[in-house]
Every structure is written in structure tokens, then in C-alpha cells.
């Protein structure tokens, strides 16, 4: 997955703790599939983040990545490629509007309708 420079730098700063892994066992071996959820849950708890179902998973973070790209106006075809989606329809699931973008769009209705420009002759 492609990452912004700030995320790459944060991971580089963390690398000395576990070699090339973001999360690892105390002996620096990679976590098993069953162990990967616990560091995420601990980090979420420390950050005070929760959701009604009580759990945020790795897929939620992936979804957030795609959604934030869409909310920033990145072309859906680019997001499709970054996310590795086979179809644009799958990518469309990530094309949410932020509440601010929705509000801004609705406020456009308060602006006068632009008048057609006179044809130059």
C-alpha cells in the first residue's frame, strides 16, 4: 500500500523497535494472524477510539485510507489502482462525502445561477 511521506517517516522511526515489522513479538518475530488484532485494539483504547460494535479492525483502516483519498478529490481510477480493486464499482464504496463536503455542496444552492455569457461575434 502506498503511504504518504509522514507515515513512511513514522514507520522508519519505529523500525528500530522491531526490525522491518510494524508490530512484532518481543523476540522480533512477526506476529501470527491471530495476534495482529491486539496491538491495534490497544492503540485504539489508548487513543480513546471505539465504535458501537466495540471493535475496529484492519479493514476499517484500509477503508478509511480509501475514503480519505476520495474525500480529497483523488480520481476514482487512481484510488482503484492504489487499493488494488478489480472493478471501479468496488472503489465506489469508498467514495463517501465528508459532512463538510455535503454541507458545502448544499450551500451552493444559495448562490445565484450563473448567467450565460453573450456569444462573441
The Cβ of residue 119 has, within 10 Å, a number of other Cβ atoms equal to: 5
Q: Is residue 116 part of a domain?
A: no
Indicate whether 80 belongs to any domain: yes
28 pLDDT band, cuts 50/70/90, is confident
Residues 41-78: tens digit of each pLDDT = 788 888 887 765 656 777 888 888 898 898 888 999 99
Number of domains in the chain: 2
Does residue 18 register a pLDDT over 70? no
Residue 80: the pLDDT is: 94
Beta bridge partners of 64: none
The rounded mean pLDDT for the chain is 81
Mean pLDDT of 37-43: 77
Domain range enclosing 37 = 11-50
The dihedrals phi and psi of 30, each to the nearest 5 degrees, come to: -65, 155
42 and 71 in a single domain? The answer is: no
Amino acid at each position: 500500500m502506498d503511504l504518504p511521506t509522514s507515515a513512511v517517516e513514522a514507520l522508519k522511526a519505529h523500525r528500530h523497535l522491531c526490525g522491518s515489522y510494524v508490530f512484532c513479538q518481543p523476540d522480533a518475530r512477526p506476529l501470527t494472524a491471530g495476534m495482529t488484532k491486539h496491538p491495534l485494539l490497544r492503540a485504539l483504547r489508548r487513543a480513546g477510539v471505539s465504535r458501537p460494535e466495540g471493535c475496529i479492525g484492519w479493514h476499517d483502516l484500509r477503508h478509511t485510507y480509501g475514503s480519505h483519498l476520495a474525500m480529497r478529490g483523488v480520481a476514482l481510477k487512481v484510488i482503484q489502482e492504489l487499493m488494488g480493486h478489480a472493478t471501479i464499482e468496488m472503489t465506489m464504496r469508498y467514495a463517501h462525502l465528508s459532512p463538510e463536503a455535503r454541507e458545502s455542496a448544499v450551500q451552493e444552492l444559495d448562490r445565484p445561477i450563473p448567467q450565460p455569457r453573450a456569444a462573441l461575434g
